[in-house]
């Protein structure tokens, strides 16, 4: 009897721990989603704006034409990135809601099957059959929809990704990223204008590539160098096109 009581106590504590971790992990994923949008927005702001202004500078256009190109590229890109993030995350949220509805139906019409799937997941993690059944039974009884959604689809019923957060993060970070080539082109005189801009952009691209890789636990140096190479290729091509046209 005492052993049964201890096992039930362990199962209760484990179930409580799982519920707490599920909530914490989802909030972390929401923050990471916003940070992801910010890093991508800043990176795109640096590359695309630098490409435009270097291309226009390569055509040896007037300071007014250069200023017009900078402002147009910065705001057009910011609205494009923000709008793209809004559409993308909205579609993701729609999928989350549709998945939630399907899981509600599954619990209403095939409860024991969903319980068996949840129990099996704990068996696969190494719990004994008795403990796995107790944990699964307590979790599915207290918060069946959320627990089964997290177990099957890694979703949380209480939270959805917010498309406005991602869109605003991407929009603002694009503007911030675009300011670097913008300011370099404005304040650095010819003939150093292009070389200083390229140098500043390389440093910024290395930083955003390194940050992006750190978020995904990927090879940081490799990602940073790849990001710099893509940016250099972009600026090189647009500068050549601008020079040919000019």
pLDDT confidence of residue 15: 45
60-to-57, 70, 145, 235 alpha-carbon distances in Å: 5, 14, 63, 15
| CA 4/CA 77 separation, integer angstroms | 63
61-to-71, 173, 191, 198 alpha-carbon distances in Å: 15, 28, 13, 18
Instruction: State pLDDT tens for residues 180-198.
Output: 777 777 777 777 777 787 8
Report the share of the chain in percent with pLDDT over 70: 81
Give the pair of three-digit tokens for residue 185.
């082109």
Instruction: Specify the range with the lowest mean pLDDT, choosing from 10-14, 71-75, 115-119, 198-202.
Output: 10-14
pLDDT confidence of residue 59: 62
25-to-32, 156, 226 alpha-carbon distances in Å: 10, 9, 30
| CA 70/CA 221 separation, integer angstroms | 30
132-to-60, 68, 118, 236 alpha-carbon distances in Å: 72, 65, 9, 60
Instruction: State pLDDT tens for residues 3-52.
Output: 445 444 544 454 454 444 444 444 556 666 777 777 778 878 887 777 77
């Amino acid at each position: 009897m005492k052993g049964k009581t201890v096992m039930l106590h362990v199962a209760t504590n484990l179930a409580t721990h799982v519920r707490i971790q599920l909530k914490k992990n989802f909030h972390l994923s929401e923050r990471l989603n916003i940070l992801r949008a910010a890093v991508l927005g800043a990176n795109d702001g640096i590359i695309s704006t630098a490409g435009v202004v270097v291309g226009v500078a390569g055509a040896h256009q007037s300071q007014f034409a250069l200023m017009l190109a900078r402002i147009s590229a910065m705001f057009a890109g910011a609205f494009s990135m923000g709008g793209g993030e809004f559409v993308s995350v909205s579609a993701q949220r729609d999928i989350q809601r549709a998945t939630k509805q399907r899981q509600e139906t599954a619990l209403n019409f095939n409860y024991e099957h969903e319980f068996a799937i949840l129990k099996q997941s704990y068996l696969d993690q190494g719990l004994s059959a008795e403990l796995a059944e107790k944990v699964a039974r307590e979790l599915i009884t207290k918060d069946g929809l959320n627990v089964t959604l997290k177990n099957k689809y890694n979703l949380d019923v209480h939270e959805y990704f917010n498309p406005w957060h991602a869109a605003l993060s991407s929009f603002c970070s694009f503007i911030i990223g675009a300011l670097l080539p913008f300011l370099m082109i404005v304040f650095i005189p010819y003939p150093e204008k292009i070389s200083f801009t390229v140098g500043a952009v390389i440093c910024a691209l290395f930083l955003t590539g390194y940050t992006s890789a750190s978020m995904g636990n990927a090879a940081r140096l490799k990602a940073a160098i790849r990001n710099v190479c893509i940016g250099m290729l972009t600026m090189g091509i647009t500068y050549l096109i601008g020079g040919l046209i000019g």
